[in-house]
Amino acid sequence: MSGLLVLDSVSAGYGPVPVLHGVSITVAAGSITAVVGANGAGKTTLLRTVTGQLRTTGGSIRFDGTDLAGTRVEDMVRRGIALVPEGRGVITELTVDENLRLGGLWRRDRAAAATLLVRMYELFEPLARRRRAAGHQLSGGERQMLALGRALMAGPRLLLLDEPSLGLAPRITAQILGLLRGLRDDTGLTVLLIEQNVRSALAVADDGVVLSLGSVVAARPAADLAADTDLRHTYLGF
């Protein structure tokens, strides 16, 4: 099966400390893939290698058939990969409007960016009321919406999310994950999701990958994983 994003025995780490040991993951186009695992399993490191913030020490990462090796971080978004960072990473000194526009600023097509901006305000209604508010004035849920909206402003083919549920109320988490599912259905968006919140991640995802100590221990349809009690007990702790 050929996926939109294919990681082939990727190894990476910080300085001399290896974190990922030959990780292979295939993310099918138009699917939602959730990578789950305990704290320290290497989930964030995995995302950082995909975005190019961390160099791989082995293996390859292919996006839509082309090797991403050597692609600069700022060019990922031009390739069609957008990230929603952990901790609701909005630029707190900028306003809601500026944060959103920043997401589509790399496009040459100004009209398309403007259309998307209108669309984002429709999609995230609470943000439309706070266009001129600075990032630091927003609530946690609003920040997560803003970070997501900003990533979508890039019109990505692959959306990466780093712990979107972290510190959010379950109701808001459900809303955001539901939204991802809607986007997948409507626009064929491909999503790679990193989550500690295994239950809700597997509930929304099509495929699940369990990461433990930097290695893939299981990669199956999400429903299978959720049903595998042994696996859950051993690696996911519930």
Residues that bind other proteins (CB under 8 A): 51, 53, 73-78, 83, 85, 89, 91-94, 98, 101-103, 105-106, 150, 154
CA 168 vs CA 37, 130, 186, 211: distances in Å = 19, 20, 25, 23
Angle at alpha carbon of residue 153, lines to 44 and 95, rounded to 5°: 90
| Least distance in angstroms from the C-beta of 69 to other proteins | 18
| Least distance in angstroms from the C-beta of 106 to other proteins | 3
In the complex with other proteins, the residue whose CB is nearer, 94 or 183, is 94
In the complex with other proteins, the residue whose CB is nearer, 55 or 78, is 78
Q: Which residues contact 54 (CB under 8 A, 6 or more apart)?
A: 12, 14, 45, 48
DSSP assignment of 100-155 equals HHHHTTT-S-HHHHHHHHHHHHHHSHHHHTTTTSBGGGS-HHHHHHHHHHHHHTT-
Count of all residues that appear for the chain in the document: 238
> Computed over its alpha carbons, how large is the radius of gyration of the chain?
17
Determine how many CB atoms are found less than 10 A away from the CB of residue 230: 7
| Least distance in angstroms from the C-beta of 197 to other proteins | 23
In the complex with other proteins, the residue whose CB is nearer, 120 or 198, is 120
| Least distance in angstroms from the C-beta of 22 to other proteins | 26
In the complex with other proteins, the residue whose CB is nearer, 51 or 56, is 51
| Least distance in angstroms from the C-beta of 130 to other proteins | 18
Contact between 179 and 206 (Cβ < 8 Å): no
In the complex with other proteins, the residue whose CB is nearer, 147 or 198, is 147
Helix (H) or strand (E) holding 6: strand 5-14
| Least distance in angstroms from the C-beta of 109 to other proteins | 13
In the complex with other proteins, the residue whose CB is nearer, 50 or 222, is 50
